[in-house]
């Protein structure tokens, strides 16, 4: 009985180590994967469901990263900017894109754009933006592609906060678990 219990214990321990390792490594990932089997999380943000389909930190991507995000009615991204290009494809639902230039001392009053199923839009490098599910009746689901991952995000409290006061969040929430800072040469 003890031998069987130890075998079961070590098997479950090995399985949990492999699951954690494979979540943060391309080793052992099949070329074709089922999106519904990829882990999703809200990272403490109510109304958000985030899946990193292909990422730099999680999967070793060098030039692009792909996310699938779902926002429940009323949920939104923070007001933010980042030094990468970003492309959105709205898969379902509708909402509002708020966007302001990064020129000047603060973003200022943003432009508002209605976004809807089968629409697409791009965010230029460092433009301050926010995506908001303003539809009261259905989820907003978007496919997001960013360049130059992993993303370094600067978060604003409001549209009139100075750029220099925006708070850096790096690594970003979905990269934290697998992020490993480069080893510094101490010589």
Residue ranges of the binding site for Zn(2+)? 80, 82, 86, 129
Token couple for 105: 């001392």
| Radius of gyration over every alpha carbon of the chain, rounded to an integer in angstroms | 19
Binding residues: 80, 82, 86, 129
For residue 141, how many other CB atoms are within 10 A of its CB? 17
Strands (E), the chain: 48-54, 64-71, 79-82, 86-92, 94-100, 111-116, 120-123, 128-132, 140-147, 153-156, 167-169
Token couple for 124: 């230029």
């Amino acid at each position: 009985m003890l031998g069987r219990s130890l075998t079961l214990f070590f098997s479950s321990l090995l399985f949990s180590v492999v699951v954690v390792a494979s979540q943060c490594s391309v080793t052992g990932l099949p070329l074709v994967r089922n999106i519904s089997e990829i882990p999703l999380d809200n990272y403490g943000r109510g109304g958000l469901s985030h899946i990193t389909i292909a990422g730099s930190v999680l999967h070793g991507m060098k030039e692009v990263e792909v996310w699938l995000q779902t926002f429940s009615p009323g949920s939104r991204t923070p007001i933010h900017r980042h030094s990468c290009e970003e492309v959105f494809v709205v898969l379902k639902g509708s909402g509002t894109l708020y966007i302001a230039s990064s020129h000047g001392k603060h973003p200022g009053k943003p432009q508002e754009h209605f976004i809807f199923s089968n629409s697409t839009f791009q965010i230029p490098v460092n433009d301050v933006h926010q995506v908001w599910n303003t539809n009261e009746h259905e989820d907003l689901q978007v496919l997001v592609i960013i360049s130059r991952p992993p993303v370094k995000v600067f978060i604003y409290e409001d549209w009139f906060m100075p750029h220099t006061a925006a708070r850096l969040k790096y690594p970003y929430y979905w990269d934290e678990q697998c992020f490993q800072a480069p080893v510094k040469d101490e010589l």
